Amino acid sequence: MTSTRPFEPKNGFVKWFDRQLPLFSVMHGALVAYPTPKNLNYWWSFGSLAGLMLGVQIITGIILAMHYTPHTAMAFASVEHIMRDVNYGWLLRYVHANGASFFFIVVYIHIFRGLYYGSYKAPRELLWMLGLVIYLLMMATAFMGYVLPWGQMSFWGATVITNLFGAIPFVGEDIRTLLWGGFSVDNPTLNRFFSLHYLLPFVIAGVAILHIWALHIPGSNNPLGIDVKGPQDQIDFHPYHTAKDAFMVSLLLLIFFAVVCFAPNYMGHPDNYIQADPLVTPPHIVPEWYYLPFYAILRSIPDKLMGVVAMFAAILILFALPWLDKSKVRSGTFRPIFKQFFWVLVIDVIALGFVGANPPEGAWLIIGRVATAYYFFHFLILLPVLSRVEKTRPLPESISQAVLAKHA
C-alpha cells in the first residue's frame, strides 16, 4: 500500500540518516501514514495490544533473569527471593506471570477476530500463517517459562508434555532425551528451557515484524470484508488509530493491573507454590489455562500417539484454513450460516477448555469427545461444504458508502 502522506522530514539529522538508511520513513509509513480502512472496529486494536504484551514480557523477563537462578536446587528459592527481597520484585514477577495469560487472552481474541471476518483469506494467507507461527512460538515460550519457577506443576507439567514426544514412532525417544538433556526432567532440562525461554521471545519479535510487513502489503481487512476502492475508503493510522489504540491500551492495562494487584494467583495453580518433588505426583496435573482446549483434545483420543497427532493437527489445520474455506465473501457479517457456526466453534473451544481442566472420566470424557469431533468437523467438513452452498447476503458497494449509510 502506498502511503498517502509522503515522508518529508525537516530535521537535518533525520534527513541525513534516512537517505542512508530509511528507518524513519519505514516507521513513518507504518505508524503515521499507514492507510487503513475507515470502518475498523475495536477488535482491530488487539494486534497493537498483542505487541504491547510482547514488549511487557520481554522487559519484565530480562529484569527477572537478572535475579533468577536456573538450577533445580535454587530456582524455586530464587523466585521467592524475587518476591520478597528484590525491590518491586513481586510486581515484576506477577506482571510477567499474568502477562503471559493476558498475552494469550489478547492473541485469542485477535485470532477469533480473524476467523469471524475472514482475515485469513486471499490476499492475506501468508499474514495469517505468520500469525500462527507466532502463536506456536508463544505456546513453546510460555510452556518453558512455566517450568522455570520449578514448582510441582512446573515439574509435572514438563514431565507430561515432554513425554508426549516419546510417543512419536522411531525418533520419539531421541527427541525426548534431547528435550530432557538426560533421562528425566532434571537440571539439564531446566537449563536448556531457561536458555530457550530467553531466546524465543526475540524470535517472536522477528516473526512479528514479518507479520506486520505482510500486513502492510495488502493492508488491513475490515468488518465488511470488502476491498478498499480508493482513498475515500481510508484513513491514516495517525492520529485516528494512535488515539483509538491508546485508549484500548489504557483499558487493557486497567484490567491487567486490577488482576496483577488484586488476584495475581487467580490464573495460577496453588501446587506451583510447592517446590518440585520428583517423588510426589500431584493428584491432578493440569497445564496452564491457555493450553486446556488442546490438552482436552489430546486426552479424548484413547490412543496416546493418535492423541498427540490430533492435538498438533488441531493447530496445524488452521494453516490450511485459507484453502478449506473457499467462500469469496470474507466477513461473517454477510454469511448468515457461517456466522451461527462461528459461535458454535467459540462455545466448542470454551467447552474443550473446561474439559481440559477436569479429569478425563464420566461426562467430561463424553463432552470432550463430542467437542473434539466437532472441532475437526467444523474445519474439515463444515467450512468446505458451507463455502460452496451458502447463500451470502449482498455486499455493500464500498466501505465509504456503508459508513455514510450507517451514520446518515
Q: Which sequence positions are flagged as catalytic? A: 216, 220, 244-245, 288
Instruction: Name residues contacting ligand HEM, limited to 186-215 (CB under 6 A).
Output: 197-198, 201, 204
How far apart, in whole angstroms, are the C-alpha atoms of residue 331 and residue 71?
A: 50
CB 97 within 8 A of CB 263: no
How far apart, in whole angstroms, are the C-alpha atoms of residue 148 and residue 158?
A: 10
> Rule CB under 6 A: is residue 103 a binding residue for ligand HEM?
yes
- What SS3 state is found at 110? helix
Q: Which is nearer to ligand HEM, 212 or 235 (CB)?
A: 212
Q: How do 234-236 and 35-37 pair as beta strands? A: antiparallel
How far apart, in whole angstroms, are the C-alpha atoms of residue 149 and residue 213?
A: 36
> Rule CB under 8 A: is residue 27 a binding residue for other proteins?
no
> Rule CB under 8 A: is residue 63 a binding residue for other proteins?
no
What mask of x and - would describe binding to other proteins in positions 263 to 282, judged by CB under 8 A?
-xx----xx-xx--------
Q: Which is nearer to ligand HEM, 54 or 105 (CB)?
A: 54
How far apart, in whole angstroms, are the C-alpha atoms of residue 281 and residue 274?
A: 12
CB 45 within 8 A of CB 245: yes
DSSP state, residue 379: I
Q: Smallest gap, in angstroms, from Cβ of residue 67 to ligand HEM? A: 8
Residue 373 grid coordinates: 469431533
> Rule CB under 8 A: is residue 84 a binding residue for other proteins?
yes
Residue 149 interacting partner from ligand HEM, other proteins, none (CB closer than 5 to 8 Å by kind): ligand HEM
- Considering only 49, 79, 224, 310, the residue that binds ligand HEM (CB under 6 A) is 79
Q: Smallest gap, in angstroms, from Cβ of residue 15 to other proteins? A: 28
Residue 77 interacting partner from ligand HEM, other proteins, none (CB closer than 5 to 8 Å by kind): other proteins
- Considering only 202, 247, 323, 377, the residue that binds other proteins (CB under 8 A) is 247
Quickly list DSSP for 3-60. Answer: -SS------HHHHHHHHHSTHHHHHHHHHTS-EEETT--GGGGHHHHHHHHHHHHHHH
Place of cell 446518515: 408
Q: Which is nearer to ligand HEM, 54 or 329 (CB)?
A: 54
Quickly list DSSP for 260-292. Answer: HHH-TTTTS-GGGGSB--TT---SS----GGGH
Residue 108 grid coordinates: 485469542
> Rule CB under 8 A: is residue 257 a binding residue for other proteins?
yes
> Rule CB under 6 A: is residue 158 a binding residue for ligand HEM?
no
Binding footprint of ligand HEM on the chain (CB under 6 A): 54, 57-58, 61-62, 64-65, 68, 79, 93, 96-97, 100, 103, 138, 141-142, 145-146, 148-149, 197-198, 201, 204, 268
